[in-house]
Structure 1
Amino acid sequence: MEVALKTFFSSPRFAVAGASSDAAKYGHKVFAWYLQHSLPVTPLNPRSPTITVLKQSHDTVASPASLPDAASTSLSVITPPAVTKQLLKEAKEAGVPAVWLQPGSFDADVLEYAKGAFKAAIAGEGGDGGEGWCVLVDGEHGLSLAGREWSRL
């Protein structure tokens, strides 16, 4: 998994599918994590043109195909499994190289698809948290593996 973590965090850009203004939701927490680590991140939310995170408004995109440079963007996914598979198909078609499926965003079928479709897919058992690989728990280790300098806001 260390190779996948390094690949994921070697991308120059990031996006969060399921990003939300609702501070109780993991899409909000994960998007805020990227901002707090001074990483260039785009929120994906087809239902809202903007979200508010860390007291700032952020323009969203509706799908992976709408990302400014999908081929240079690693994608964190925080959507229900029923939504995730179609989202991953769109991400693959758009050229996204790596995905991180947060706990609860996938089932066995989605996990199998992700592992076959992307250069790197982080998901499933492992990591330092109790529920599997999570950006909030394991992201800083991934940043270190990729040799990324980051400063926490």
Structure 2
Amino acid sequence: MSMKLKIKSFFGSNRQYAVVGASNNPSKFGYKILSWYVSHKLPVIPINPKEQEILGQAVVNNITAVLQAVGSKQDISTHKTSTVDGVSISFLTPPKITSATLLEIATVPDYKSIVKGLWFQPGSYDQEVLDVAQQIGLSDLVIQEDECILVRGEEGMVSANL
């Protein structure tokens, strides 16, 4: 699948978005990317083990809790995850954390039907991360090659008719 098609399929009118590595620090990309989702009025869940709320969004401690909520059609915290068609995830974590998070995702029942896109922001991945994505069967959903949602996100939203 081309990067353009992957970017298009990352977005959807009934999609839940999650930012793994969301940050309360305005100088960090974990803040800037979350802010991009919020400013585009996309339903986004910040994932951070230490924070409670970022940019007015209730934080969830780990991505697997979000996937389980979507898989079982439950809401999580203030997020309406019971009615979405899946989750598209932006990663802003160091590669080691990204790899570990992908392995956690693979423990969730039906994760392959729940995860709709994996956007590895520059700096969040290395060859090991790409290998793990392949190993768990999600490499077709991966956006990388130094693509940044701050640059390509609008195009993806337009192509998905959002």
Per the shorter chain, which TM-score range? 0.7 to 0.9
Q: Residues 60 and 8 (structure 1 numbering): CA distance in 2 closer, same or farther, change over 3 Å?
A: same
Q: Cα RMSD between the aligned structures?
A: 1.7
Q: After TM superposition, which residue ranges in structure 1, 4 or more long, deviate above 3 angstroms? A: none
CA distance in structure 1 between the partners assigned to 2:103 and 2:23 by the alignment: 22
Tell me if 1:65 matches 2:86.
no
Letter in 2 for 1:110: V
The CA deviation at 1:115 is 4.7
Check whether the contact 1:115–1:121 (CA below 8 A) recurs between aligned residues.
Answer: no
CA distance in structure 1 between the partners assigned to 2:88 and 2:156 by the alignment: 12
Q: Could you say which residue in structure 1 is the equivalent of 2:107?
A: 93
Q: Could you say which residue in structure 2 is the equivalent of 1:127?
A: none
Q: Could you say which residue in structure 1 is the equivalent of 2:121?
A: 102
2:147 partner SS: coil
Check whether the contact 1:7–1:98 (CA below 8 A) recurs between aligned residues.
Answer: yes
2:107 partner SS: helix
Name stretches of at least 5 consecutive residues in structure 2 with no aligned partner.
72-84
The CA deviation at 1:16 is 0.3
Aligned partner (choices 26, 29, 48) of residue 29 of structure 2: 26
Q: Could you say which residue in structure 1 is the equivalent of 2:4?
A: 2
Bigger mean CA offset, 66-75 vs 78-87: 66-75
Q: Deviations over 1:24-82 (max 9, x none)?
A: 0000000000011110000000112222x2xxx32111111111326711000000011
Q: Could you say which residue in structure 2 is the equivalent of 1:122?
A: 143
1:69 partner SS: helix
TM-score (norm 1): 0.82
Letter in 1 for 2:98: T
Name stretches of at least 5 consecutive residues in structure 1 with no aligned partner.
125-131, 149-153
CA distance in structure 2 between the partners assigned to 1:144 and 1:115 by the alignment: 28
The CA deviation at 1:112 is 2.9
